[in-house]
């Protein structure tokens, strides 16, 4: 194959020369300016075609001082929650003619910090954030530069932020009430309070609801950890060995619920006949025929779509009231919960 040295990318000036007009006119055609004689417009269009001209968005961004790019900061894009969020954002942004600049922090503060700086450097028009860290200093950088920021799924400390989150406490309440209504009284909770503020709220909500319904909170069947099978199995085993074993489990995430289900089955119990399980999050996997998990949905799709939509509003109209939305969760009843069995296990 011969190496063909291609001409450099054509510019508006090249197009102008070819069409025999000024560069300004080319720009006007490109931007759909109306008062142009039909024949000059056609000449310009023809030259654009022939030169394979593609407008340089970099230059355009520079002069317009707008990039039509939204930055998105996620925890870890290989986590299904964030991946689905990314998908929704990319699709919706494309419709509104915005580009999306995604970065994941891999739960590491340095990366988070670097991402923020990259976004500032690249002059994104706005930033969507779904992962925050204790040291939030670099978020302040965004505010310094007056870049609109919208949080979703996480609630930062300051009260003047824009955010869309789920009512996590209410979600736990739905789960507890559902189990109570099915006749369960001994409920085990798998919490994960240290991971994110939202997880902490699920835990808090659980405690509050248990009190509200006057159900006993048994510290011995309260798990505080992660979602790794190797941690969860021993906990479940111990819990079910007890004379006053729980008849059901509430978890902080669907991943935990799946691990619980696996453990329960491995220990020879039937779900939901012997043991009921309620997850939290309604990840895609939870509806898999293998699991059919009863779980609390946090309306992820609505949340993400709304977050993008509102951010674009902030970007395009700077004078806006802070946007603060709390979405109500919903209980998705599938096949892992049933009425409490009579005899204890």
Partner DNA sequence: CTGTTAGCGCGTTCAC
Partner DNA sequence: GTGAACGCGCTAACAG
Distances from the Cα of 211 to the Cαs of 16, 58, 95, 244, in angstroms? 75, 58, 47, 19
User: Using the rule CB under 7 A, which residue among 5, 7, 31, 343 binds DNA?
Assistant: 31
Among a second copy, DNA, none, the one that 83 touches (CB under a kind-dependent 5 to 8 A) is a second copy
* Token reading at 42: 């056609």
* Token reading at 275: 């043991």
Q: Which residues of 162-174 are buried (b: 16+ CB within 10 A; e: fewer)?
A: bbbbbbbbbbbbb
Q: How far is the CB of 79 from a second copy (least distance, A)?
A: 8
Q: How far apart are CA 170 and CA 212, in angstroms?
A: 12
State which residue, 22 or 137, has the beta carbon closest to DNA.
Answer: 22
Strands 294-297 and 248-251, sheet pairing: unpaired
Q: How far apart are CA 98 and CA 128, in angstroms?
A: 13
Which residues contact a second copy by CB under 8 A? 1, 6, 9, 52, 54-59, 61-62, 67, 76-78, 80, 83-84, 86-87, 90-91, 94, 99-104, 106, 111, 114, 117-118, 120-123, 141, 144-146, 160, 229, 258-259, 262, 284-285, 289-290
Q: End-to-end distance of the chain based on CA atoms, in angstroms?
A: 76
Instruction: Assess 45 for contact with DNA (CB under 7 A).
Output: no
Among a second copy, DNA, none, the one that 86 touches (CB under a kind-dependent 5 to 8 A) is a second copy
User: Using the rule CB under 7 A, which residue among 42, 46, 49, 64 binds DNA?
Assistant: 64
Instruction: Give the torsion sign (CA, 140, 146, 147, 152).
Output: positive
Stretch that binds DNA, among 6-14, 104-112, 125-133, 142-150 (CB under 7 A): 6-14
Instruction: Assess 215 for contact with DNA (CB under 7 A).
Output: no
The site for DNA (CB under 7 A) is made up of: 8-9, 11-13, 20-25, 27-28, 30-31, 33, 35-37, 40-41, 53, 55-56, 59-60, 62-65
């Amino acid at each position: 194959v011969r190496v063909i040295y291609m001409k450099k990318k054509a510019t508006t000036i090249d197009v102008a020369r070819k069409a025999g007009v000024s560069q300004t006119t080319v720009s006007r055609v490109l931007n759909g300016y109306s008062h142009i004689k039909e024949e000059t417009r056609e000449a310009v269009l023809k030259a654009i075609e022939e030169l394979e001209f593609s407008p340089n968005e970099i230059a355009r961004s520079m002069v317009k001082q707008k990039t039509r790019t939204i930055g998105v900061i996620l925890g870890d894009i290989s986590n299904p929650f964030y991946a689905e969020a990314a998908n929704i954002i990319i699709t919706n942004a494309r419709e509104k003619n915005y580009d999306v600049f995604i970065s994941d922090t891999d739960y590491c503060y340095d990366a988070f910090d670097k991402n923020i700086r990259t976004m500032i450097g690249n002059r994104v028009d706005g930033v969507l954030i779904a992962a925050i860290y204790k040291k939030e200093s670099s978020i302040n950088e965004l505010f310094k530069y007056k870049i609109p920021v919208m949080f979703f799924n996480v609630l930062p400390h300051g009260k003047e932020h824009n955010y869309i989150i789920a009512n996590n406490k209410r979600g736990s309440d739905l789960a507890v009430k559902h189990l109570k209504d099915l006749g369960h009284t001994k409920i085990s909770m798998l919490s994960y309070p240290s991971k994110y503020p939202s997880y902490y709220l699920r835990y808090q909500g659980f405690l509050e609801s248990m009190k509200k319904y006057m159900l006993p909170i048994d510290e011995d069947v309260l798990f505080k950890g992660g979602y790794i099978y190797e941690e969860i199995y021993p906990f479940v085993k111990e819990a079910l060995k007890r004379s006053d074993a729980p008849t059901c489990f509430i978890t902080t995430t669907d991943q935990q619920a799946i691990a619980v289900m696996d453990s329960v089955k491995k220990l020879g119990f039937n779900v939901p006949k012997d043991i009921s399980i309620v997850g939290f999050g309604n990840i895609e996997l939870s509806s898999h025929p293998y699991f059919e998990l009863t779980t609390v949905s946090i309306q992820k799709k609505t949340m993400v779509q709304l977050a993008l939509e509102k951010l674009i509003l902030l970007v395009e109209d700077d004078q806006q009231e802070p946007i603060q939305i709390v979405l109500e969760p919903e209980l998705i009843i599938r096949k892992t919960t049933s009425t409490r069995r009579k005899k204890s296990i």
